[in-house]
Each structure stands twice: as C-alpha cells, then as structure tokens.
Structure 1
C-alpha cells in the first residue's frame, strides 16, 4: 500500500510506470514492448488493454487494462500464473484465470502455483523495479485468495468437461471460454484486513 501511496503523491500510477508515462494506450500492445523479465529469468509480465468490444463479461467494467504474469521455464517456455486487472488510477480490481488459448504457453497446475506462491520474488532494475516489488507484495498478500481462485478454476474446467463431453486438454482450447474464474480485490480495504488478521489472507 505504501508503494501505491508514494506513486499517488507524485501524481503517478502503476499504469504510468508500466507504460513509461505514455498518454495513449494502444489496444493489444504490450507494455513494455518486449515484456519485462526479472533478474532471475524466472518471471515475465506485461501490461496491455483490450478494445471495449472485446471485454469479457467476467472482467470488471472499470478495467483500464491488465497485467499478465508468467512463470518462465529454463527453456523460456511460459506458464501463465494469473492476470491482474487495474482501473484507470492503476489500483488493482481483480485477479483472473484465463483459458490457455488466451495466453498460450504451458498450463500451470494449481499444485505448482502453490509452490511458486510460497515465496515469490520478482526483481528488476531500472524504471520497472518498483512494479516488480509491487507485484511481489500483491502475490504474497493474496496467496490464499489466488490459490482458492485456481482451485475454483479447476472445478469449473471439470464441470465444463462433464457437461460438454470434453477432455481437460480440449477444454483448455475451447474458444467459447475465455475466462475460467476471477476473484475481486477491494483495495486498500484488503490490505487493512490482512494487517488485522482476516482469515481470508491467512
């Protein structure tokens, strides 16, 4: 929360940081242009936005754009961990779990995600260093809600397979489904609740 407050005091937001202060955000363009890869080479992320007509009904209508966060394999193969919606002020709105065809790469199993979320540590130098620390803070704070979302994602896939007669692999390429699950963020209320020991964050 303190990182966001410091940015606000300077009249900036996380979107400003992610886009290097650009006044116009081109739909579908990645910010930064070649994505951000942390110093360990294990994490990769970018910010982008969709045209209004492309917004899925599951996504918050206040969204200005969102961050896609990936785990990088030793060979550079990406596995999508989560999406993070931001409003026009750069405040987080919700986490979301898109279908595999949306992001490409390899499917990240919930058990693997649980291990990654035990001690996430994104480190960057330069103008995106603060963004990496902020994302690390959010992943740590929302570890339990994120894992619950991914379990709900898995349950939604299982139901879809049963209803449609599909295998999990087929479900993950079913273009009728863009998003499997999402979980809301109430910022800064969630940060206060975590400090007060809310069971949601324990």
Structure 2
C-alpha cells in the first residue's frame, strides 16, 4: 500500500458500517476456508495459463443478476486477476453511462482483484475505460452497483462466485474509495494532457489500487 493511503479500517465510518463489514469479513473467512482449493486454481481448473485467455471459458455469468466475471493474466510471471462487471439488465433503473460503448449491453467494470503466488487475494484496483472496453459510469453509479451486487451463477463456478461476492461485500467501503479515486485520477489526467481522450489513453491503465490481506483486515476490525 502506498504510504498515506487509507486501508479498509480507515474507510469505515460509524458503528453500523463496522458491524456490517465485520459480519461480511467473517462470512468471507468461512467461505474461503470451505473452498476446495484457492480461487485461481478453481477458476483455471488446473489448465496451463495462457496470457489474456479468460478463465472460465466464456466467463462466469449470473443469468438472474447479469453480473459477470473472469480471471486472466497479461504476461508470464504475473499471478493474474479477476475483472468483475455488471451488465445493464441487472442495473437499477435510471443508471446511465457517462460514455457509452459500441454495444447497448456493454458492462460496467466494478473492481479488479489481484492474486498472489498461492492464489490468495492481495490487491484491489480499478482501471481506465480502454482496459476492458466498458461503458463508463461515474463513481456514484458504480458505487450503487457495488452495493447492490448479486452474484450467484449456477455450475462449477458457483463457490468462487460466492467467495467473490463476499469479498466485495467485505471491502465495499474501500472499493467505494477506490472508485472515487479512479474518477479523480482520470480527471487529473485530462487536465494534464489536453487534447487527448483520457478514457482511451493507454498511458493511463491502473487508476487506483490498494494491497489487501483479508485475514489481517478482518483482525483489524475485531481488535
């Protein structure tokens, strides 16, 4: 974590939010302990990793909520990350993109989860629009989607989906801060690079990030 940037504990305000986060963290710990392997191994199902290939093939998609995720890595030696999205058909009425994509069903990217060498979650980060080709929603709309996330696809990816939903619920206060920081980073880039399309400028890729440790972060809430 960059010095001076708030972690989960610093993002929580009020006893109600603290109790909610603590309960979410305890549920996350139970789900993680109950997984038959780490999330990465379950998503890749023992296959050799290919750069940029999505795992599972065709992505994990919840037909009820229209949330979607996949795992991939960009290069050899990287431990990879999950990208989590919300499709429009599962959004609350009235949410509209600030910048639409080419297709009406283009998703909104909610958060990315980075993994370590043992398949453990070690980072949360947001990305610029060009990275995933998403429809671009302002921070307030993204935070509303995060708060209302439902993720329960059927099939073999269901345990990982349940774990991922619990991770998002636990870190929701931090994710909200990261989404706000994303918008500020993009605006700062626009001001510093006049005449360029800041959302499609490949020099700006990661727009905010934090190192995470679910067990330590939960301990920080109960100590």
TM-score (norm 1): 0.83
1:140 aligns with 2:169: yes
1:19 aligns with 2:44: yes
8 Å contact kept, 1:99–1:178? yes
Report the CA distance between 1:150 and its aligned residue: 1.0
Partner of 2:155: 126
8 Å contact kept, 1:80–1:103? yes
1:70 aligns with 2:85: yes
Q: Which runs of 4+ in 1 moved over 3 A?
A: none
1:48-74: per-residue Cα shift (whole Å, max 9, x none)? 011148xxxxxxxxx511001111113
Structure 1 runs not aligned, ≥5 long:
54-62, 198-202
1:49-198 superposed matches below 5 A: 49-52=73-76, 63-74=78-89, 75-166=104-195, 170-194=197-221, 196=222
Partner of 2:60: 36
Report the CA distance between 1:105 and its aligned residue: 2.1
Report the CA distance between 1:118 and its aligned residue: 2.1
Partner of 2:31: 3
Q: CA RMSD in A?
A: 1.8
8 Å contact kept, 1:77–1:106? yes
SS of match in other structure, 1:138: helix
8 Å contact kept, 1:94–1:185? yes
Report the CA distance between 1:119 and its aligned residue: 3.3
Aligned length: 181
Report the CA distance between 1:32 and its aligned residue: 0.9
CA distance, structure 2, for counterparts of residue 166 and residue 88 of structure 1: 41
Q: 1:158–1:166: structure 2 CA closer, same or farther, 3 Å change rule?
A: farther
Report the CA distance between 1:41 and its aligned residue: 4.4
CA distance, structure 2, for counterparts of residue 4 and residue 157 of structure 1: 34
8 Å contact kept, 1:81–1:108? no
SS of match in other structure, 1:188: helix
Report the CA distance between 1:45 and its aligned residue: 0.6
TM-score (norm 2): 0.75
CA distance, structure 2, for counterparts of residue 2 and residue 21 of structure 1: 24
